[in-house]
Amino acid sequence: MKRLSCVRGLRLRKGRVHLRCASSQTVPERANVVVVGGGIIGTSVAYHLAKAGVEDVLLLERDRLTSGTTWHAAGLMNSFGSMSSTSTWSRQYTQELYRDILPTETGLETGYMGIGFIELACDADRLEAFRRIAAFNRFLGVDVAEISPEQVKDLFPLCETSDVLSGFWVENDGRANPTDATMALAKGARLHGANIIEQCHVAGVTTSKPNGNYRAKVTGVRLENETVIAANIVVNCAGMWARQFGEACGVYNIPNQAAEHYYLITEPMKEIDPSWPVIEDSSKCVYIRPEGKGLMLGFFEWEGAAWKPEGVPLDFSFGELDPDWDRMMPYVEQAMKRVPAAENVGVKALFCGPESFTPDNRPIVGESPELRNYYIAAGLNSIGILTGGGIGKILAQWIQQGCSPHDVDVTAIDASRFQRYQSNITYRNDRTGEALGNTYKVHYPDHQPTTCRNAKQSVLHERLVNANAFFQETSGWESPSWYAPHGTNPKVETESFGRENWFLHWEAEHISCRNNVALFDMSFMSKFHVQGNDAGKFLNRLSTANVDGDWGMITYTQWLDEQGYMAADLTITKMAENHFMVVATDTMLNKVYSHMLDRLVHGEHVFVTDVTGRYAQLNLQGPRSRELLQGLTSVDLNNFAFRRAEEIDIGLARVLCIRITYVGELGYELFVPVEQARHVYDCIVELGREFSLSHAGLKALGSLRMEKGYRDYGHDMDNTDRLLDCGLGFTCDFEKEGGFIGQKHVLAQKDAAKERGGLLKRIVNVLVLDPAPLLHHGEILWKDGRRISDIRAASYGHTVGGAVGLSMLTRDIPVKKNWLDGSDWEVEVGSRKHPCRLSIRPMYDPASVRVKDA
């Protein structure tokens, strides 16, 4: 490569000095909504709020619009590439916004160029991954075509294609100018009535002081000069400063972190045509597009580098970082192999600027669980320009409605999923390099992070290590995924989309639970004590079921939002007259907690306590579970009815025992004080030898529950669904005193369904008839040559002999059994379709005989 060293240190753009003086523009005394941050996301939120008719929207930018990370973004606009319907929709809408809507409304161009986009598959695993993505994206309306290496060469003549297996081509994708797009959004926001003030540094917020369990509520923003602007709602769009600004406001669940991001600009090349498409080759960590008369080569390394984990300087505006040439040279050299002609010209610049990444590579969006009316849109993982329009519209709807939108699934991006320890400097420093590195790695379905592990361990962790567990991260907890036979090493040999080395271990656990007895450690589950004179009345108001009946019973129930859409899926156990235990999945800890606190009525005698870490949870499941447990307790389990909850003795311990199941068998959940958990575990394992007890992990839990069609909020159900759509109408008690939140909407849907003869939207069970293929999620259902739906969640049904999944079907007339039975269904897996069977009832034990009549 010629003349590389001679350009080291060359700056692509001159930086600006941060002005710390107050803006000359008059600052209002109050606003309805204050948006903090004037990058692509902040201007998008302000634009969409104002366009939706929200009055008194004020955007405050500490320096100049785009001065954080927006100004140096590459501006790629590819709709292809995500297995998330939310991300794909955000990309599609943002393209439309930049291409058509903003230029028409504002008269400003966004620099959108529909030059096309090609994703290269240069190895077998990437080819499989991209075919799966392509099938999913086509279902969502992305016009993606798989093309040959020769066609790639025709579209981008400088591309080396000798090792290319296929390309995935989207003709209307392309690029935009980040600064132009931001300025168009800002003008659009002003045209719709928003006020934008630059050089106005927001230092924090003012809040109301809560009484009792209530969450604090934001009341305004405090400027650097101590001026206070009263506000009903504050939106944190501070980009790479979002975590720091959040902490200044008392919000600690924003663990985004700036990382170095590089791109290289070549000198002019006479062969370049500016209309050539964007090329992305993840195998070489590079994207390539025309830039002026040369090329831009952008990089996402296998392992990134966090920048300023101690805190991004507040005066860093339009800033660049000194590039690490030694670290980046191997990536540059590999990238040049994709466009060998670039080696014959000089390098105008190797640019390094910060981009913000999150621990799970998904954005942080929604209301903070720590402070009411404090919203967040940050951590865009280097695709802020690409998804900025969609994220802004989602959050604007969220703010306007006062709850999550009902037309787009936000469960995976909800800010409440993060926990405070993830903002620790050590966590962010260590995880960010891996997060950036994930951008171009093959996204295998069972991949586990390697950094920041063992942050949270069950009290039984060492016991489970000795049992040969392979652990996965579950909301920070180390939880067994599967167990290897004794004498073997529990490790993943090769990641893939097919059967991995541990498939038979997983199968053995599944079969043992169906035919014998298995032990699951579920200590990661979110657990709350709700106590007080009004606790029963309060929980009944939240719950679709009647949870305030006789004590000593567990009830499966749903919580809905005020518009009748799904908000949580959980169980509630009445332990005593004024004492309840609420149990939800691990990812819902903050969401369930804030859902309760925000719905307390003033004067109610209710106390909510997070007791997740106080109890270990051991689930003993399978047809011989009663027999084993009876050998450990003096309580007569023959008279222990389904849904009963009672404290029992096990050895020297007292244990809350609940007869309930999530696998479709006779089973018990044991909630054990952590100080006695090892003793109880040892008792179970010792006696379990006589029963050939198996340890079982989360892979078996998933396959068992999927055969039974049991639901999981955040996977096969989400905020876009209503209770009856999910087949959970049986949880409703319409006669209980006071009713429940969302009841009138459920009744209205029920009446409408009765009038038309059924539901137009319904979740169904799917079984692939060929035992060979595996389902993960996102596979497409076909009927009579038409794409009908996608698989929301899936596993392998070791009992029923094929892959199983859950899918939500929607049609113009009712979804009924005769329509499912009378049709030929296929599921698309990669590039092949396989016959499958659909059923409204579970594939395994549809009458639940094994659960209730055991």
What does the pLDDT look like over 544-560, one tens digit per residue? Answer: 999 999 999 999 999 99
pLDDT digits (tens, 9 = 90+) for 207-220: 998 777 788 999 99
Q: Could you tell me which residues are beta bridge partners of residue 31?
A: 231
Beta carbons of 37 and 243 less than 8 angstroms apart? no
pLDDT value for 26: 87
Residue 520's φ and ψ, nearest 5 degrees, are -115, 135
Q: Could you tell me which residues are beta bridge partners of residue 23?
A: none
CA geometry: angle 189, 194, 195, nearest 5 deg: 115
CA 630 from chain centre, in angstroms, equals 41
**What is the enclosing helix (H) or strand (E) of 795?**
strand 786-797
At the second CATH level, the architecture of 5-13+116-174+259-355 is 2-Layer Sandwich (3.30)
**What is the enclosing helix (H) or strand (E) of 593?**
helix 589-598
Percent of the chain with pLDDT over 90: 95
Residue 461, classed as helix, strand or coil, is: helix
* Residue 735: count of CB within 10 angstroms of its CB: 7
Q: Could you tell me which residues are beta bridge partners of residue 761?
A: 810
Show the tokens assigned to 379.
């951590």
Question: Is residue 505 scored above 60 in pLDDT?
Answer: yes
Rounded Cα gap, residues 758 and 761, in angstroms: 9
Q: What mean pLDDT is predicted for residues 698-710?
A: 98
Please state, rounded to an integer, the average pLDDT across all residues of the chain. 95
CA geometry: angle 583, 589, 593, nearest 5 deg: 85
Instruction: Give the torsion sign (CA, 161, 165, 169, 175).
Output: negative
Show the tokens assigned to 473.
């991260």
Q: Closest by alpha carbon to 148, among 160, 162, 166, 130?
A: 166
- What one-character-per-residue DSSP string does 76-143 give? EE---S-S-HHHHHHHHHHHHIIIIIHHHHHS-----B---EEEEE-SHHHHHHHHHHHHHHHHTT--
Rounded Cα gap, residues 63 and 556, in angstroms: 52
Tokens 């960010």, residue located: 432
Question: Is residue 24 scored above 70 in pLDDT?
Answer: no
Rounded Cα gap, residues 764 and 709, in angstroms: 8
Q: What mean pLDDT is predicted for residues 169-186?
A: 98
pLDDT-wise least confident of 445-449, 467-471, 602-606: 602-606
Residue 23, classed as helix, strand or coil, is: coil
Tokens 């390098």, residue located: 347
Per-residue pLDDT band for 23 (boundaries 50, 70, 90) equals: low
Q: What mean pLDDT is predicted for residues 168-191?
A: 98
Question: Is residue 6 scored above 60 in pLDDT?
Answer: no
Beta carbons of 321 and 312 less than 8 angstroms apart? no
Q: Could you tell me which residues are beta bridge partners of residue 632?
A: none
Rounded Cα gap, residues 333 and 326, in angstroms: 12
- What one-character-per-residue DSSP string does 466-493 give? HTTEEEEEETTEEEEEEEPPTTS----S
Question: Helices in 402-548 by DSSP H: which ranges?
Answer: 425-437, 461-466, 503-515, 535-542
pLDDT value for 403: 93
- Amino acid type, 847: A
Q: Closest by alpha carbon to 365, among 341, 393, 386, 333?
A: 393
Rounded Cα gap, residues 238 and 202, in angstroms: 10
Cβ neighbours of residue 704 under 8 Å, at least 6 residues apart?
510, 513, 514, 621, 662, 663, 664, 665
Question: Is residue 3 scored above 80 in pLDDT?
Answer: no
